[in-house]
Structure 1
Amino acid sequence: MALRSVEDTLHYLLACAQKRGTEVRGLAQSLGAVLAEDIFAQSNVPPADNSAMDGYALRESDLRAGEPMLVSQRIPAGVVGQSLEPGTAARIFTGAFIPDGADTVIAQEDCEQGDGVVIVNIAPERGQHIRPCGQDIAAGQLLLTAGHRLTSADLGLLASLGVSQVSVSASIKVALMSTGDELREPGEVLAPGQIYNSNRPMLASMIRSLGCDVIDLGIVADDPDATRLALVNARDSADLVISSGGVSVGEEDHVKAQVEALGELQLWKLAIKPGKPLAYGRLGDVPFFGLPGNPVSGFVTFCLLVRPYILAMLGVSEKSPPKWPASANFDWPKAGSRQEYLRARVTPGATGLQVDIHPQQSSGALTSVSWCNALAVIPVGATLRSGDLLEVIFLRDLN
């Protein structure tokens, strides 16, 4: 039976993802949240012409070279000045509104001040050093669209408009479980045959980076009854269930069988390396992902398939990471039957992006994941020689 391609799998998963409802949050709780509606500016920013410099506001036509001008008022930021008297200047500070009658600001370093008068030492251009009303944002302007994930800069932008809360996609509760009698948590003493559970903190942090809440079910024993109970608890408490391990074909891999007993398995085994035994299905109405137990396989399949699925649930417009062309600094002489994702490091070169790969590409080598900043994509049946172009997926925003 032919294995399903990565592209076909992703298309299928995105079609299956059911979009979440909405909730209202304050700005302080909205970093990384996904907008559920378009945001239009309700006012101009800045709301009035204001000074871009500390200096003097005046009417340019009143200037006479070398002649002193009376300083008629002082306007700090936050104070609205009076209409400018003809032939006078106003001492003004950065951000203060320009008084009626003034059309130019002279920087203080271009002036001489003393005894209530100012002498301008330059020939200014009318309108200089004035930030006009609406220069940054015009009332009615579309600023952010539904499906956009809010960044720190976005929160600052919204605050500049006086927005205190936004309608966003409701957060997702993700139940995370690890399977394997050999697993122990960091800090515990290892007995012979045991290893530390690296998947749990890695996957939990990747889930949280998407704004989701993690329900940590810990380590589940390699036992069908324990696996079934953990899956039932996960189904009943979460919007999405993710397990690591237990979906391969070994006698101690119980997750696949118990998912089929409790619901249905819709995908299993992909034409991807690493990550072939990835599984997807449903536990009743709750979607389920079974990630491979090997940590690199879990990392890669989460980045390429689970992350876009979660983003689709949240209503994000752009779900799949972009691919960029780069020049290979390595040979890849053996064509594979599955699409491969090599842990790679991309750097700028004289003729474009250059890509090197980690010397250890084993699915258990987390050093390659820690080292890399990208995945190099090797299509099915492809070989490469140094200097050939290939596609890379940057990871800086994915983990």
Structure 2
Amino acid sequence: MPAVKTLQQIAAELQGYDPQAMSAAQVQDFLSRLVSPVQDAVELPLFEAFGRVLAADVISPFDVPPHDNSAMDGYAFDGGQLSADNPLDLVVLAGTALAGKAWQGSNSLVKPGQCVKIMTGAIMPQGLDTVVPQEFVTVIEDGRICIPAGLLNPGDNRRLRGEDLMQDRPALQKGELLTPARLGLAASLGLKTLTCWRPLRVAYFSTGDEILSLGEAPREGAVYDSNRYTVFGLLSSLGCQIIDMGVVADDPALLEAAFTEAAMRADAVITSGGVSVGEADYTKAMMKKLGDVAFWRIAMRPGRPMAVGRISQEKSGSSPITASARSYQTHSNPNGAILFGLPGNPVAVMVTFLAFVRPALLQMMGASAAPAPLLKARSTEAIRKKPGRTEYQRGWVSNGPDGGLQVKTTGSQGSGVLRSMAEANGLMVLHHSQGNVAVGDEVDVLMFEGAS
């Protein structure tokens, strides 16, 4: 494996790197250089492989379809008899070609002027290459049919052997996420198991004395923790193995214990809170003590502060729970766990996760998936925006009167207003150099469905 780069080495590779003025694009570039895929593969039954990432190509053991077959219910015949100017009369031979078995008619070739009734998926009888759908023919006396002139071309409505997949060629490729369709494709090849990368282990916890866990009595100045539940949902959609470590108070010993255990148990650690300028610096101080960590101010809204780096297991050795944490360790991760220190505000947590953490975790999972696509939608309202930062506005995307997509904001865009995120179905992405948006202007939209 290539040598792991330090944060300083990665920073030196980025043009114009300034931790106090990071653009969204620079953050994505930095994280792509920081993380690396897991290396442990497992063989899984198909029912357990859904949502996993393939660790090896899936090679088709046979042609799909295995024979030329009919794409329609109708009549199979030699398409060379077709004429653009004259209808074609054919005699229907006895017997029907059914799916799942060869035609049981005459052993000799079907002669010119003859055809065979055939069902969808049935093997094409020898010498026949065209199917006319049964609803397009006229049935005439003496067991004959008539096909209108100019209706078909030779080869119509026939599926060719190997048209879908060819034997010994990749049917699925290493790095692909196993979606329902891909799982079904593997099953259609008769495969009982697939080689997948193991699931990514992600530990997460919230920090702060003001954070209440569910079930605790309310108290003045405190708020209930919502971040762990949104992060849980976001991680679940990726198929990660989730390690929920609860809420950790602003106490150096408790924070050191939490970071140490998380680094021992997980490939990645996600925290929320404690990374903003002016906040109690226990969390940042512990990150610095235990790892190689960078603290950024990102030119974005919401989600300006963020910490990234690695929590080193060697540096964690002084923790009072090291022995206990080591009992949880089930993988070898000599380079430490990747750290994502997210802001504390609920909406900022979700936005930074979708914009930065999700793509990085997919890369760690071994996925070759392209970034989630941005759709174009017309804004139904004017939006004030200064160039020089990327803004992620919560929006509701719908079909407009002209059939195209339109989008409107879902109320207050404050980083603590979780309701406006709950009412949204996507994020309007207003890019770094973009200015004000007028009514009717097209904007980019990142949809939640399929992205989270």
TM-score normalised according to structure 2 size: 0.75
Where do 1:214-229 residues align within 5 Å?
214-229=242-257
SS at match of 1:281: strand
SS at match of 2:438: coil
> Which of 186, 190, 211 is residue 239 of structure 2 equivalent to?
211
Offset, 1:9: 1.7
Provide, for residues 57-112 of structure 1, a one-character-per-residue CA deviation record: whole Å limited to 9, x for no partner.
566899998886551x4543222334635567655433222333555556556576
SS at match of 1:13: helix
Question: Which segment is superposed worse, 55-64 or 350-359?
Answer: 55-64
Question: Which segment is superposed worse, 176-185 or 188-197?
Answer: 188-197
Instruction: Indicate yes or no: 2:123 matched with 1:97.
Output: yes
Contact 2:20-2:297 at 8 Å conserved across structures: no
- Which amino acid is 2:34 matched to? C
Provide, for residues 180-229 of structure 1, a one-character-per-residue CA deviation record: whole Å limited to 9, x for no partner.
33333446653444432211121111112112110111222232211111
- Which amino acid is 2:446 matched to? I
Q: Which residue of 2 aligns with 1:364?
A: 416
Offset, 1:253: 5.0
Q: Aligned equivalents of 2:337 and 2:252: distance in 1?
A: 20
Offset, 1:175: 0.5
Q: Which residue of 1 aligns with 2:174?
A: 146
Contact 1:41-1:143 at 8 Å conserved across structures: yes
Q: Aligned equivalents of 2:431 and 2:442: distance in 1?
A: 12
Instruction: Indicate yes or no: 2:100 matched with 1:78.
Output: yes
Indicate how the Cα distance of structure 1 residues 34 and 119 shifts in structure 2: closer, same or farther if over 3 A, else same: same
Q: Aligned equivalents of 2:101 and 2:442: distance in 1?
A: 60
Structure 1 segments unaligned to the other structure (5+ residues): none
Q: Aligned equivalents of 1:151 and 1:344: distance in 2?
A: 27
Where do 1:189-200 residues align within 5 Å?
190-200=218-228
Offset, 1:234: 0.8
State the identity as a percent: 37
- Which amino acid is 1:50 matched to? N
Structure 2 segments unaligned to the other structure (5+ residues): 1-18, 313-335
Provide, for residues 325-369 of structure 1, a one-character-per-residue CA deviation record: whole Å limited to 9, x for no partner.
544433344637643222123345449654322320111111221
> Which of 21, 40, 45 is residue 39 of structure 2 equivalent to?
21
SS at match of 1:264: strand
Contact 2:70-2:157 at 8 Å conserved across structures: yes
Q: Aligned equivalents of 1:69 and 1:382: distance in 2?
A: 68
Q: Which residue of 2 aligns with 1:172?
A: 200
- Which amino acid is 1:292 matched to? P
> Which of 53, 66, 78 is residue 47 of structure 1 equivalent to?
66
Question: Which segment is superposed worse, 176-185 or 320-329?
Answer: 320-329
Indicate how the Cα distance of structure 1 residues 103 and 259 shifts in structure 2: closer, same or farther if over 3 A, else same: closer
Q: Aligned equivalents of 1:93 and 1:318: distance in 2?
A: 39
> Which of 376, 394, 397 is residue 346 of structure 1 equivalent to?
397
For the aligned residue pairs, the C-alpha RMSD in angstroms reads 3.4
Indicate how the Cα distance of structure 1 residues 183 and 14 shifts in structure 2: closer, same or farther if over 3 A, else same: same
Q: Which residue of 1 aligns with 2:339?
A: 288
SS at match of 1:236: helix
Q: Which residue of 2 aligns with 1:397?
A: 450
Question: Which segment is superposed worse, 335-344 or 304-313?
Answer: 335-344
> Which of 374, 377, 380 is residue 426 of structure 2 equivalent to?
374
Q: How many residues align?
A: 396
SS at match of 1:43: coil
TM-score normalised according to structure 1 size: 0.84
Indicate how the Cα distance of structure 1 residues 270 and 99 shifts in structure 2: closer, same or farther if over 3 A, else same: same
